[in-house]
Chains A and B, each alone.
Chain A
Amino acid sequence: MDMDDPTNLPQAAATHAIDDAQNTGDEQEFLTFTLGDEEYGVDILKVQEIRGYDTVTALPDAPEFIKGVINLRGTIVPILDLRLKFHLSKAEYNDFTVMIILNVADRVVGIVVDGVSDVIDLPEESIRPAPEIGGSVDSQHITGIGTVDNRMLILLDIEKLITSADMGLVSATSH
């Protein structure tokens, strides 16, 4: 990685925040959810609805983290399990398992998470750039790290994450 990257990131995050936070001044609203012990946040404007986990129809020829598809009032929506995608140690399906239905890049996609916690306003100054990390989440999918009451919140660029090639949701031949 280049040396410029860390300096670019907060800038990008800042512009992003200003773009989306039309009514809240310098604040941006996030929906927070848990994956294992970690807490994540996604731009609330991308969230369409939250549903309990339901039976999915498995798809052939799909990576493990793509659970399958569900019928969302007549629309076929693919469901992917972020816990499997991020290689968390366990991914249980119980009464508290939830799906967040997202509207990203003109697509409707559901993600399975351990639980939804809150909707929070995050002032711009409390968003810090993400450190360089390796692992299953490329740091380019993290817009920054927020701090709320000493809790660390990982802010995901969910649109980039969902549409990234290794998700296998968007195939080169489909368009």
Chain B
Amino acid sequence: MGIDFERLHAIFFEESFEGLDALEAGLLKLDAGDRDPETLNAIFRAAHSIKGGAGTFGFSDVANVTHALETLLDQLRDGERAVTPELITSLLESVDGLRELLSIARDGNQADPAFVSGLRQVFERLLGEEPAAAAEQTAANAPTPETPAPTGGWQIHFQPHEHMFMTGNDPLRILQELQRLGDADITAITGKLPPLSELDPEKAYLGWDIKLQGEICEEAVRDVFAWVEDDCDLSIQPLESAAETETADATPAETAPAEQARAAAPATAPAAKKAKTSSDSSIRVSVDKVDSLINLVGELVITQAMLKQMSTGLDPTDHEQMMAGLETLERNTRELQEAVMSVRMLPMQFVFSRFPRVVRDAAGKLSKKVNLVTEGEGTELDKGVIEKITDPLTHIVRNAVDHGIESPAERKAAGKSETGTLTLKAAHQGGHIVIEVSDDGGGLKRDKIIASARKNGLEIDDNISDDEAYQLIFAPGLSTAAEVTDLSGRGVGMDVVRKNIHELGGQVHVTSEPGKGTKVCIRLPLTLAILDGMSVKVGGEIFIVPLNYIIESLQPVAENIKTITGSQRVIRVRGEYLPLMSLHDIYSTAAANDENSLVVLLESDGRKLAVEVDELLGQQQVVIKNLESNYRRVHGVAGATILGDGRVALIVDVPALTEVAPKAA
């Protein structure tokens, strides 16, 4: 029998993608100034195992690229190369490239050779330039004193003209070539370097004085400069007669920002947390297995409920032992269910970990300065919810960077620090998880939102409250962005965000304070698989109303029920008039005795609604079953569940019902 390669491949890809995530996280830590050797080691290990796996399985493209990546990381680790924001950006890009390569390989396709070679070139370029960059930085940071020149070698003065970069030549590459020839002592000439504000990154400002030692013929040295001879000031003299050449000037564009970043880095370094190296043992199990386990436990819960129901008719004294057994069964079942559900729970870390990158990219593109703060990464949430919340959350975060946080200049003018702060917070609150995305930007502009909403054909009362106005950002097609950017402003998005969150059974609310910032608050159920419900009887059928929407239940008094325009009924509850609907009408069940009906008050999304039911049967935890897997979505029905007697009961979709209801005045 052959080895099951399919499965091994699947594991390889899964691990590789995780490895890339770890790599990315590590790189971002480096970027934030973390100089812990363990961080670098973790990055290195991730790259190494991807390379190993790719080699074993014959994904040579991936192996080659990771090999180059590894070489680069090795140099970083050995201190031969300095960490610069540019390097990190290139590395992050190459991580994206690798991810792409891996998905191509996973889908069994052949990668475009141009893509692969492009990716390799990134590394080759980096590998080519880097030691030089390190050397140059040393020079820039602490100008090396002239060392006594031994005999045999060349004194080279190399001053690229400003347009050097336009010709496609890279001085760093040349310097690296020189180092290959012999022992090169390189000193940067920074005299031409303008103040940062006037620096044009596309111009070459730096020059270099190079002492090249060793038995090298002039030809070889000249060859290195063959392509740039016309684009630079160049003098090559034997070492002894090295003449002092006039100072020249430029820095390759990278150096200046690089230095700046290096200066900033140590300041942030202490803040960066140490990588947690947990050695918890774990096994990798497919989600399908866990899901089938959850389903089975769900069945068990139903069977247990059935047994309990059957036992109610028995005489407790005659069947004392069996009753006790049933009791134990109930407890064990519940604990088992909780334990199995927790297998699917993942910490919010899984979502939050991608945001440093998202924020970095978005802020970089918009030239804004944003500091990301995350809290409550340990808060656990069902894997299914986590997967579905990631995209909406990414959208909100991008929006916050794009529209929320102002440009450094605006912030300065408003008396705030140039760097904006974006806070991601997760916390448990009852049976829910609350995720907050807040920024300290300019806040929402009420007038703009209302104007934009009107343009979209929404009828808006002038007197709506600020809070109501802010919620309009979730209306379809609404965008207040002055201009459409890559990131946002097309007006598609926030409505989709709200829709996705509603589909998860969650709610989203935005609050804002002009000049101080905006906060988006998302409330989600912890899991999609079970819910606490109230079972109600309506016309012979049983329905489950999710408990978290119920405010209260009451016995209505006839005089409190009135009608508006003859048809719409309202009920007066403590001075408040709420729309009253009958579940009979909504679900077109057989009408039952209206006389003794009860009223349940529901609230969702700030809207209140009263519904009439025949009878309240009790509170119970139900396993949510999907109606759509074999049928289709039914308006007003959130799903179905199986009752203790094996029958199916529908779960009331409260947000859908309240949406039809007018907003409670």
A residues sitting closer than 8 Å to B (CB atoms) are: 55-62, 68-71, 73-78, 107-109, 168-171, 173-174
Contacts and interface: CB of A to CB of B under 8 A. Distances in A.
A169 B631 contact: yes
Given A71-B646, A174-B628, A61 B633 contact: no
B14 to A, nearest CB: 25
17 contacts: A55-B647, A57-B640, A57-B647, A57-B649, A59-B650, A69-B648, A71-B646, A71-B648, A74-B642, A76-B625, A76-B629, A77-B630, A78-B630, A107-B629, A108-B630, A174-B632, A174-B633
A62 B635 CA distance: 10
Interface in B611-655: 625-637, 640, 642, 646-650
A76 to B, nearest CB: 5
Given A69-B648, A76-B648, A60 B636 contact: yes
A173 B648 contact: no
A70 B649 CA distance: 9
A173 B630 contact: no
B49 interface: no
Nearest to B542: A57
Contact of B627 (A69, A74, A108): A69
A71 B640 CA distance: 10
Contacts of B299: 73-74
B551 interface: no
Given A57-B541, A69-B640, A109 B628 contact: no
A71 B642 contact: yes
Contacts of A57: 541, 640, 647-650
B138 interface: no
Contacts of A77: 630
B225 interface: no
A61 B636 contact: yes
Contacts of B541: 57-58
B577 interface: no
Nearest to B628: A174
Contacts of B633: 171, 173-174
Contacts of B634: 59-62
A169 B633 CA distance: 9
Nearest to A75: B630
A56 B627 CA distance: 14
Contacts of B588: 60-61
A84 to B, nearest CB: 17
Centre residue among B299, B589, B648 by max chain A CB count within 10 A: B648
A109 B587 CA distance: 22
Contact of B589 (A58, A73, A109, A168): A58
A79 B207 CA distance: 81
A76 B647 contact: no
Nearest to B585: A60
Contacts of A58: 541, 589
Nearest to B649: A57
Contacts of A68: 648
B589 A74 contact: no
A132 to B, nearest CB: 31
B583 to A, nearest CB: 10
Nearest to B588: A60
Nearest to A55: B647
A60 B637 contact: yes
Nearest to B631: A78
A59 B647 contact: no
B586 interface: yes
A77 B589 CA distance: 20
B295 A59 contact: no
Contacts of A69: 627, 631, 640, 648
Q: Which 6 A-B pairs have the closest CB atoms?
A: A171-B632, A57-B648, A60-B587, A78-B631, A174-B632, A71-B642
B480 to A, nearest CB: 29
B517 interface: no
B298 interface: yes
Interface string B298-310: 1100100000000
Contacts of A70: 648
A107 B647 contact: no
Contacts of A55: 647
Nearest to B640: A76
A60 B586 CA distance: 8
Contacts of B626: 76
B630 A59 contact: no
Nearest to A110: B630
B121 to A, nearest CB: 42
Contacts of B627: 69, 76
A52 B119 CA distance: 63
A170 B629 contact: no
A74 B293 CA distance: 13
A85 to B, nearest CB: 15
A55 B633 CA distance: 22
Interface string B583-607: 0001111000000000000000000
B629 A59 contact: no
A70 B631 CA distance: 12
